[in-house]
Amino acid sequence: MFSKRIDAVWFGIHFFLITAVCFAGLFSLIAEGATMLPSALESYARKAEIAAAWVLGKQATASSPLRRGVATYLHAAGIQAGYTFFAPNVPGYHRLTLELFYEDGRVEHEAPRLRSKVTGLRLDSLLDRLAEERYEPIREVLVKMLAFSVWREHPGVKKIRAVFGSVTPPSIIEFEQGKAETFQPMFSFDFSLRREEKARGLSALLMRVRILSFPVLLEIVGR
């Protein structure tokens, strides 16, 4: 009889924590405006999210035994995240824009050339990796390779400016108001060819860039 009571208490605590985790995730989505619910509910959802976080011990200090105990149990039981973790969401991404400057003053905007859908997926993966700080030392080499691949098709270009940045899609409310995605530049590089390099052609230069960047490119894309 006593063991059944213990099982019942454990059952109640377990599913109480599951409910708290699920509601915390749900209220978080509502508070961030990631749902189609009215924006007037966002402030109430934020308060409810804080209450759910308090129940889960997340408002306590990092060294609190209660917080550590609840977090350990949630991860051990595999209930640290609710189904909102799999909620449909359009994440941000990164974009590389190439500005082509001609001798006559014209300026055109291009993107890296893609030969197939598979190449597009690899390029997206590459751009996401370039945003990380650990790849900062080889950013210029990889961006130069992408820029020169476009340069071959535009021999009259005097200079290329490569602008890399993050793209944030509009929220549901902003989309309903007709707002577009926002582009936030992170870094840029300017590339120009000397006259003797133009005379020799770009093949040798591209080969040098590929030799320098190919091993790193394989590592990034292969992840």
Task: Give per-residue pLDDT as tens, 73-87.
Answer: 888 888 777 666 566
Residue 49 has pLDDT above 60, yes or no: yes
Tell me the C-alpha distance between 196 and 43, whole Å: 64
Separation in Å, CA 30 to CA 51, 80, 84, 174, 201: 14, 19, 11, 15, 56
Separation in Å, CA 219 to CA 30, 122, 166: 38, 11, 22
Higher pLDDT, 223 or 39: 39
Residue 136 has pLDDT above 70, yes or no: yes
Write the single-letter amino acid at 68: R
Higher pLDDT, 199 or 40: 40
Average pLDDT, the chain: 76
Give the model's pLDDT for residue 218. Answer: 43
Contact 174, 39 (CB under 8 A): no
- Provide mean pLDDT across the span 138-156: 81
Helical ranges in the chain per DSSP H: 2-31, 42-55, 65-77, 117-130, 139-151, 172-176, 195-200, 203-221
Domain boundaries, the chain: 2-86, 93-221
Give the model's pLDDT for residue 214. Answer: 45
Give the model's pLDDT for residue 1. Answer: 66
Residue 203 has pLDDT above 60, yes or no: no
Higher pLDDT, 151 or 204: 151
pTM (global) more than 0.75: no
Give the model's pLDDT for residue 213. Answer: 45
Share of the chain above pLDDT 70, in %: 78
